[in-house]
Amino acid sequence: MIYEKATVSGTVNKKKEIARTVSTISFIFLHIEKTLQILRWTKVKNEKEASPMFSELMRSLR
């Protein structure tokens, strides 16, 4: 009985952790998407003019 309760609460905590991770990832992708939209709207051709976070992201992807 105690083991069952521990497993259930462990599962619930794991699901909360997964949900938190998913929401964090989706937030990051949303931010990237907004940044790309802003870049498209302003037609920034030079990476230095872009937001610091975006240019840092592009540098880390290279």
Residues 32, 62, 24, CA angle at the centre, nearest 5°? Answer: 30
Region of residue 50 (left: phi > 0; alpha: psi -120 to 50; beta: else): beta
Residue 50 backbone phi and psi in degrees, to 5: -70, 170
Rounded Cα distance, 13 and 25, in Å:
18
Higher model confidence: residue 26 or residue 8?
A: 26
Average pLDDT of the chain? 75
**Tally of domains in the chain:** 1
Extract the tokens encoding 17.
């952790």
pLDDT, tens digit, for every residue of 10-31? 777 888 888 889 889 989 998 9
Q: Within its chain, how far is the Cα of 29 from the centroid? A: 5
Q: Tell me, what's the pLDDT at 57?
A: 74
Q: Which domain holds residue 6?
A: 2-61
| pLDDT higher at 1 or 13 | 13
pTM of the model: 0.45
